[in-house]
Structure 1
Amino acid sequence: MAARLLIDLVAELRIGDGPVLASANSLTVTTNGRVIVGDQSDRALKVFGPDGLQVAPIGRAGAAPGEFTLLNSSGVLGDSVYGWDSRANRVTVFDPAGRYARAFAIGQPGSPRFARLRVMDDSLLVASGWVQGAHDQPLVEVFDRRGRRVGRMAQMKEAFSPPDPHLLPHTAVFADGRGGVVFSTVHGIDTIFAHTADGRMLGTGRIGLTGHAPVLDLRRLLRRNRGTLQRPDSSWVQDGHYAALGLVALSDDLVAVQFARLNFAENTDLLSDGGPVVVLRLLSDGTFQNVGQVRGPGALLGRSPEGNPLLLRWSGADLEWLELYRLIVQPATKGPP
């Protein structure tokens, strides 16, 4: 029986006189109510107080300690804040006051190029990213707080072999973990995977997006278009198709996946347009059950301390504030006899 999915407006975040938030890629709410948003545009972590007002950012562009050559994602690890710089292969950790504390590397020989780094159970980091350059390797890795690898998973060589040069650069993996379970999905494949933190397979299944155009199958579209990405009218074969662009683990058996309709002419903008969110449950037999689907008003970028998926959306005539939403999964109840 399907659960009831609710989208609840949590707060309005007011853009102050500080740096403008332009390209959000991650979102975390701390236990004391601060909202931390990773911003790839100027390579700083934007911070909003419990009252929703913007305060001083954390980090800045650069190559020195406490700076980022590229800010791919951010989050909260214990009482510290971190940012992930894939270009420098560096996780930078700041203390609760936003001061630089330490840094460590995670990428190792054979690792994918990680674009996202999510905290799992406040002790581990789940890394996922691009398929290009690592199509024959596990595509998700788990690290401890010191950057030591403790698990590798999501080996999908058969899905990307032979390594088509048009396919690999346009394919990415999204992963997150909670309660000892790591969930992952692939941009372009309507499939969900579950593993333990050390890499043991727990289950797999179809996500099952409903009520929309077919989920992107880039290999099939390339084959139909004679191996090229652009059609004769110069449009892209991905245009109009839905693809996974976000994943958040709710618990050890619940996961939310967001899809968006791809638009290469005007750019796909989840912060403005949102996209459907599918919630799935991992069952004891290793299969997945579709719990429900809801229209997400913004981009699915993170998780609250309580485990609720968080979405961020631009608002106002001049985009002068952001709306923060949470997704609530209410168990299904039986009606009266």
Structure 2
Amino acid sequence: MSESDAADDADAESDSGDDARPGREIWIEKYRPQRLDEVYGHDDTVDRLQSYIEGNDLPHLLFAGPAGVGKTTCATAIAREVYGDDWRGNFLELNASDERGIDVVRDRIKNFARASFGGHDYRIIFLDEADSLTDDAQSALRRTMEQFSDNTRFILSCNYSSKIIDPIQSRCAVFRFSPLSDDAVAEQTRDIAETEGIELTDDGLDALVYAANGDMRRAINSLQAAATTGDVVDEDAVYLITSTARPEEIESMVTAAVEGDFTQARSKLDSLLTDTGMAGGDIIDQIHRSVWDFELSDRQAVRLMERVGDADYRITEGANEQVQLEALLASLALDSEE
């Protein structure tokens, strides 16, 4: 056997080995629902969208909600159901955060809307992160929506509908996507683990759901990352991969501060920032999520929420994360002495 043949055989073995390992494909795309009835956690929204399609009466749509809850998935699923195999030729997807200027609206959108097409009453233009468009671009978009209303339908996606100008909102059917329920996240995560042949423990599933916080994309990415580290995806693997603190670690830190033991609370905070590698904003988010689960009186919980708000604002404005978090814990410890 020649050296080149041996090298080719080695490459082939390497490729086949790569295919067998988790992580060869991006699971958020591999398991993206293709049809509306495959979307998890938004039954009422899916029913309304399907009624539009069945009645051949699709209006302009505005999807508003946080990341990873199914806005883009629903938009592409609508195109697949309306156009079938021809959906790519009749569906234009743009990301407004990359292309924010008025020229995008005037050029790419208008050229697509004007292009000839056969067999369908309209084409669909999906504008993701539309709240990133400037006011001038949104005004141009409004006029374009009017001009091509006979043969084009727009689907706009945004995190905050308040950043979309009123004339556009009034022309759209607005759908508000809330964070996915824990049951919906757990259901799809469990289904993917079974399909991939991954041993997912109950505490591992609970950790994935907790870390995702309603974001399906984060749950699936975390599952894929954890699956590459070993044969079993358990609680330890998930918290390690996601750099998320266990709920009990957050609780013990806050409880120590509320009881006046600032030194212990500061030590736990330092462990989260250095050993776990968490960002200050993530710690703030976890405290906010869990505050009502702590064994605190109503007054203590309210005081904690007030200080969480102050720290979050200062960190957002660029203040030092560790200083602000230590100040939060210090204020709780001082309250205990009153």
Q: TM-score range by the shorter chain?
A: under 0.3
TM-score, normalising length: structure 1: 0.22
TM-score, normalising length: structure 2: 0.22
* Structure richer in strand, relative to its length: 1
Instruction: Name which one, 1 or 2, has greater alpha-carbon Rg.
Output: 2
* Structure richer in helix, relative to its length: 2
